[in-house]
Chain A
Amino acid sequence: MATGPDYTFACPECDESISVNGSMRDALVENGCVVCGASVTNAVFSSSAAEG
């Protein structure tokens, strides 16, 4: 795949972990966790590239 997810989203409320790109990260911060509805901040994203 030419482009992969850029970040890993880890919800602090429901422990859901989802690989996302930059647009999805922005949408999660604006709309909350897609699974449980909890508020989301930029701090809950880690860089997939940094994890190798």
Chain B
Amino acid sequence: MALDQQTSLSADETDAVLARHETGVLSLARDDEPYAIPISYGYDSDERRFYLRLVSAPGSEKRQFLGSTPQVRLVVYENEQGVYRSVVAVGRLEEIPRSELTVEHIEQYGEAKRPLFEIWGESKDDLDIQLYQLVPDELSGRHVDVDEALDSS
């Protein structure tokens, strides 16, 4: 697919894509080892900030990739009626300590999808649930009309 057949999304269009979805793929890395996981998020379009709950079992691989402020890349995408849109956010995950929670945090996490604890096969109180925010250093989106791209190829 030629790059000139893709068009950047405006800030409003990017926010709209993020608002109508609640899941994406979060990529972390450690040295040259990648780690990507599906996550759910809440998105504050006013602050352009993501809120994530990351659930892991003690000693799990995921926990090993989550340093204090890991550099991450979050990808959200859709393919609706022949139009492909993707949004990429790049930045650092910042853990929100329980002692620093605010009303705004509670409201934002209320909009995030409930974690699927059932997939762990362990009770919730045996799982490590950390609250993070992602304030992207870069936030960009692109879209392409798949039919037009195929016709012109």
What 1/0 flags go to B98-121 for Cβ under 8 Å of A? 110111011101111111010000
A23 interface contact, C-beta 8 A: yes
- In the complex, identify which listed stretch (B8-16, B76-84, B123-131, B140-148) lies at the interface while the others stay far away: B123-131
How many chain B residues touch the partner (CB < 8 A)? 22
Nearest-neighbour CB distance to chain B for A15, whole angstroms, equals 4
Does B85 sit at the interface, judged by CB under 8 A? no
The docked-state distance in angstroms from the alpha carbon of A16 to that of B53 is 14
A32-B124 contact, Cβ under 8 Å, with A18-B101, A24-B102: no
Is A44's CB within 8 Å of the partner chain B? no
Nearest-CB residue, chain B, relative to A14: B124
Cα separation A24 to B103 with both chains bound (whole Å):
5
> Given that A36-B117, A36-B124 are known contacts, is A31 also in contact with B98, CB under 8 Å in the complex?
no
B110 to chain A: which residues have CB within 8 Å?
27, 30-32, 34
Which residues of B approach A to under 8 Å, CB–CB? 53, 98-99, 101-103, 105-107, 109-115, 117, 124-125, 127, 129, 131
Inter-chain pairs besides A24-B101, A24-B103, A30-B110, 13 sampled, C-beta below 8 Å: A14-B125, A16-B98, A24-B106, A28-B106, A31-B110, A31-B111, A32-B110, A32-B114, A34-B109, A35-B53, A37-B112, A37-B113, A37-B114
